[in-house]
Amino acid sequence: MVQEFSKVDKIEGELNLPGDKSISHRAVMFSAMAEGTSRIYNLSNGEDVKSTQECFKKLGVEIKKEKDFVEATGKGFKGFRKPDSELDAGNSGTTTRLISGILAAQNFESVIIGDESLSKRPMKRIITPLTEMGGKISASDNYTLPLRISPSENLHAIKYELPMASAQVKSAVLLAGLHCDEPTSVIERNPSRDHTERMLGLKVEKTAKRIISYSSKQNYPVPKEYFVPSDISTAAFFIVFALLSKNSLLKLKNVSLNETRTGILQVLKEMGGNIESENEREAAGEPLGDLIVRGSELKNIFIQEKIIPNIIDEIPILSIAGIFADGNFTIRNASELRGKETDRINAICYNLKLIGLEVEEYEDGFSFGGKINNSNPVFESFGDHRIAMAFGILSMLLHSGGKINNFDCVSISNPDFIKQIKNITR
**Distance (Å, whole) CA 327 – CA 171:** 38
Q: Which positions from 301 to 340 touch ligand S3P by CB under 6 A, shown as an x/- string? A: -----------xx----------------------x----
Of the candidates 51, 113, 110, 53, the one whose C-alpha atom is nearest the C-alpha of residue 82 is 110
Q: Which positions from 272 to 291 touch ligand S3P by CB under 6 A, shown as an x/- string? A: --------------------
22 lines the binding site for ligand S3P (CB under 6 A): yes
Coil/strand/helix, residue 217: helix
Q: What are phi and psi of 225, to 5 degrees?
A: -105, 130
Span interacting with ligand S3P, options 167-175, 178-186, 281-289, 358-366, rule CB under 6 A: 167-175
Exactly one of 9, 313, 326, 408 is catalytic; name it: 313
**Distance (Å, whole) CA 199 – CA 195:** 6
Residue number, 192 or 414, with CB nearest to ligand S3P: 192
94 lines the binding site for ligand S3P (CB under 6 A): yes
- DSSP string computed for 320-385: HHHHHSBS-EEE-S-GGGGGSSS-HHHHHHHHHHHTT-EEEEETTEEEEES----SS-EEE-TT-H
Give the shortest CB-94-to-ligand S3P separation in angstroms: 4
| DSSP assignment letter at 182 | S
**Distance (Å, whole) CA 140 – CA 194:** 30
Give the shortest CB-360-to-ligand S3P separation in angstroms: 24
Residue number, 168 or 219, with CB nearest to ligand S3P: 168
Give the shortest CB-20-to-ligand S3P separation in angstroms: 9
Give the shortest CB-294-to-ligand S3P separation in angstroms: 28
Is residue 315 within 8 Å of residue 303, measured between CB atoms? Answer: no
Give the shortest CB-123-to-ligand S3P separation in angstroms: 11
Determine if the peptide bond prior to 146 is cis (ω within 30°). yes
**Distance (Å, whole) CA 73 – CA 213:** 28
Task: Round to the nearest angstrom and report the end-to-end CA distance of the chain.
Answer: 24
**Distance (Å, whole) CA 214 – CA 358:** 46
Give the shortest CB-378-to-ligand S3P separation in angstroms: 26
Span interacting with ligand S3P, options 162-170, 263-271, 319-327, 392-400, rule CB under 6 A: 162-170
Helical axes 21-33 vs 47-58, angle rounded to 10°: 10
Give the shortest CB-388-to-ligand S3P separation in angstroms: 15
Residue number, 24 or 248, with CB nearest to ligand S3P: 24
Of the candidates 136, 138, 140, 161, the one whose C-alpha atom is nearest the C-alpha of residue 150 is 136
Q: Which residues pair with 88 in a beta bridge?
A: 113
Is residue 312 within 8 Å of residue 334, measured between CB atoms? Answer: yes
**Distance (Å, whole) CA 159 – CA 364:** 28
Residue number, 49 or 396, with CB nearest to ligand S3P: 49
Is residue 318 within 8 Å of residue 264, measured between CB atoms? Answer: yes
Residue number, 31 or 166, with CB nearest to ligand S3P: 166
> Whose CB is nearest to ligand S3P?
22
In the residue annotation, 313 being an active-site residue is answered as yes
- Using CB under 6 A, count the residues that bind ligand S3P: 12
166 lines the binding site for ligand S3P (CB under 6 A): yes
Residue number, 168 or 296, with CB nearest to ligand S3P: 168
Given candidates 100, 168, 219, 296, which one binds ligand S3P under the rule CB under 6 A? 168
193 lines the binding site for ligand S3P (CB under 6 A): yes
Residue number, 97 or 355, with CB nearest to ligand S3P: 97
| DSSP assignment letter at 314 | G
Residue number, 87 or 325, with CB nearest to ligand S3P: 87
231 lines the binding site for ligand S3P (CB under 6 A): no
Give the shortest CB-148-to-ligand S3P separation in angstroms: 21
Given candidates 171, 260, 300, 330, which one binds ligand S3P under the rule CB under 6 A? 171
Catalytic residue numbers read: 313
Chain residues binding ligand S3P by CB under 6 A are 22, 25, 94, 166-168, 171, 192-193, 312-313, 336
